[in-house]
């Protein structure tokens, strides 16, 4: 039997790309969603669809998911990973930019869930994995909107898990910190400056985090890893 469809947002690079590679290696058909899709390189193009979609646009997101499902069957796993981090004092930031950050980080997660949840409930099977952040419980300065949005994602997942437990739908919150990606580019600083601001810590690779996300998915449907924090062992950040 062919394996079920996995939908990944923010899939063009970093964590999303590493997760796509992991699921592709396990022979899953994939829908990779990103505002700016990148070449698939060595990924199996016959089992992968790409969609240039902003997760803040519900109609476009739902349309891309329905199109993939028409070919590969219903979405069995949704990985909400799309996001970015902007820093700066709250009063200095553009209000429209702040609003868009909330649209992507929180409303984008809601949009993805809304597009797949009804089908999962009907089938009594499905997994929603929200890639949050250590900031969902340990906020820091100059990232107030990011941390507040991630806290909302964590709360949403916990509430949804309670509501959907009876429908056999898993909701998983993965809260990583110190993952080596290009998130510093969205912050407008170099990687060296980003490291300096964090105290030059050790980092987890995106591939290592993808292994953990895949582990959560591979558990039997009756087992749900509800909330997991992933940090370097050397870090005492909490």
Inform me whether the pLDDT recorded for 187 exceeds 70.
Answer: no
Question: Which domains are delineated in the chain?
Answer: 5-230 (3.40.50.720)
Inform me whether the pLDDT recorded for 182 exceeds 80.
Answer: no
Q: Give the residue-averaged pLDDT of 151-159.
A: 98
C-alpha 177/C-alpha 193 separation (Å) is 17
Helix axes 108-123, 144-164, angle to 10 degrees: 10
Would you say 194 and 152 are in contact if contact means Cβ atoms under 8 Å apart? Answer: no
Question: Token pair of 214, please?
Answer: 């895949």
CA-to-CA separations, 113 to 21, 147, 206, 238, in angstroms, rounded: 22, 20, 23, 29
Inform me whether the pLDDT recorded for 8 exceeds 90.
Answer: yes
Inform me whether the pLDDT recorded for 82 exceeds 90.
Answer: yes
pLDDT band at 7 (very low <50, low <70, confident <90, very high): very high
Helix, strand, or coil (residue 101):
helix
C-alpha 202/C-alpha 210 separation (Å) is 17
Q: How far apart are the first and last CA of the chain?
A: 44
CA-to-CA separations, 38 to 50, 51, 92, 174, in angstroms, rounded: 9, 10, 33, 25
Cβ atoms within 10 Å, residue 114: 12
Would you say 158 and 226 are in contact if contact means Cβ atoms under 8 Å apart? Answer: yes
Give the percent of the chain with pLDDT over 90. Answer: 75
Q: Give the residue-averaged pLDDT of 199-224.
A: 93
pTM reported for the whole predicted model: 0.93
Active site residues: 146
pLDDT band at 185 (very low <50, low <70, confident <90, very high): low
Cβ atoms within 10 Å, residue 173: 25
């Amino acid at each position: 039997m062919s394996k079920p469809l996995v939908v990944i947002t923010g899939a063009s690079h970093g964590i999303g790309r590493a997760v796509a590679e992991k699921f592709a290696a396990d022979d899953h058909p994939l829908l990779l969603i990103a505002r700016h899709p990148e070449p698939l390189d060595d990924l199996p193009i016959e089992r992968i669809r790409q969609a240039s979609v902003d997760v803040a646009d519900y109609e476009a997101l739902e349309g891309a998911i329905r199109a993939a499902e028409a070919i590969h069957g219903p979405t069995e796993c949704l990985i909400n990973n799309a996001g970015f981090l902007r820093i700066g004092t709250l009063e200095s930031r553009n209000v429209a930019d702040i609003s868009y950050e909330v649209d992507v980080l929180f409303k984008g997660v809601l949009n993805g869930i809304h597009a797949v949840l009804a089908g999962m409930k009907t089938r009594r099977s499905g997994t929603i994995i929200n890639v949050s952040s250590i900031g969902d419980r340990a906020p820091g300065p100059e990232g107030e909107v990011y941390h507040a949005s991630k806290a909302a994602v964590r709360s949403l997942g916990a509430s949804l898990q309670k509501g959907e437990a009876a429908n056999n739908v898993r909701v998983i919150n993965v809260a990583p910190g110190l993952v080596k990606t290009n998130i510093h580019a969205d912050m407008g600083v170099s990687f060296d400056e980003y490291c300096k601001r964090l105290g030059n810590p050790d980092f987890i690779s995106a591939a290592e985090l993808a292994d953990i996300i895949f582990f959560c998915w591979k558990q039997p449907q009756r087992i749900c890893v509800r909330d997991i924090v992933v940090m370097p062992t050397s870090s005492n950040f909490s």
